[in-house]
Chain A
Amino acid sequence: MDFLLWYEEGPVGLFIRESLWGYPIVLFSHAVGMATVMGVVVALNMRVLGFAKELSIPAFDNLFIVAWLGFFINLISGLILFAGSSSTYVFQGSFQLKIGAILLGGTLMKFVLGAVRANKPAYIQKLLSIVCLLCWIVGVVTGRLMAYLA
């Protein structure tokens, strides 16, 4: 908690609360990063679930580099936004759910790719894929609703 207050009262917190254009710029970076990460997650999971079967899954690899780029944009912009009122966010249910969903969704993405690579039965691949996609969707929905459930 001390750390959160220190972070919130430090220069990053001050910047995001007081700079006129700081907040919108960080906010739109967060939206662009989200579209990038989620775009790749959605496309890949659609493929694993059976859409456009002619697409080779290993050929998606470079899109994952793009997705990681989006993820880092979001990690950084997210940390800056978090500084705005970190000691409040940590107690907000929608924020906790969002972070949990993203961590679980990210881990499951690894499992999905692992299952594809290891040639696990289709139902295992698809089950992992659908739970993974749902986690990421929960991450987006709770992120959007954070503004309303404060």
Chain B
Amino acid sequence: MFWEPFATWLESTWFHGVMIDIYWMFPLMETLHFLALIWLFGALLVVDGRVLGIVRFLNMKACMKFIPVAMIAFSFSFLTGLAFLHADPFNYLANPGFQWKMALIAIAGINALWFWLGEHKELLSLADGQQAPFRAKVIALISIVLWVFIIIMGRILPYTGGAG
């Protein structure tokens, strides 16, 4: 497969050795991955919840402060996820659950970009209690649904392929 040279390279790095030889590295990375996930999901619940109108009396402008929180949390998820990949690259990359998860994250990224470029400015002028435009609500709903499926894919990865 096209990713095989990448997997071979990952296995040749010193960090692969760290992930394999130090037995508590994997559980540590998993725990950090979970903590990053709840921070990311919490930030999304605030922003998307406000746009969807679930918590429409939250100040929209202040809710947007959770966007950088989501981005930092995502970076942590990404880095800790990269650590898992170093540990067992061939099994992860060949795993359909992992491939789906990565594809969904890419779509969620495009969706977030669409939100930022297309809706963000207009939303800032919303008064407290005012409903967001329908278009923005669709983006927010897609975001929550995608992340739920990303969590699901992540959790069933061990059952859809050989990776642990």
Contacts and interface: CB of A to CB of B under 8 A. Distances in A.
A52 B58 CA distance: 11
B126 to A, nearest CB: 13
Interface in A18-56: 23-24, 27-28, 31-32, 34-36, 38-43, 46, 51-56
Secondary structure type dominating chain A contacts: helix
Contact of A52 (B45, B63, B128): B63
A35 B37 contact: yes
Contacts of A58: 57
Interface residues of A, number: 36
A98 B31 CA distance: 14
Give the size range of B's interface with the partner: 35 or more
Nearest to A35: B41
Contact of B59 (A34, A54, A66, A148): A54
Interface in B25-62: 27, 30-31, 34-35, 37-39, 41-46, 49, 54-55, 57-59, 61-62
Max chain B C-beta neighbours (<10 A), residue from A31, A34, A55, A61 = A55
B38 A38 contact: yes
A41 B42 contact: yes
Given A36-B41, A54-B61, A148-B27, 11 more contacts: A24-B156, A35-B41, A39-B45, A43-B45, A54-B62, A59-B58, A59-B128, A61-B55, A63-B54, A63-B55, A140-B31
Closest 8 CB pairs of A and B: A39-B42, A54-B62, A38-B38, A59-B57, A42-B42, A39-B41, A35-B41, A28-B155
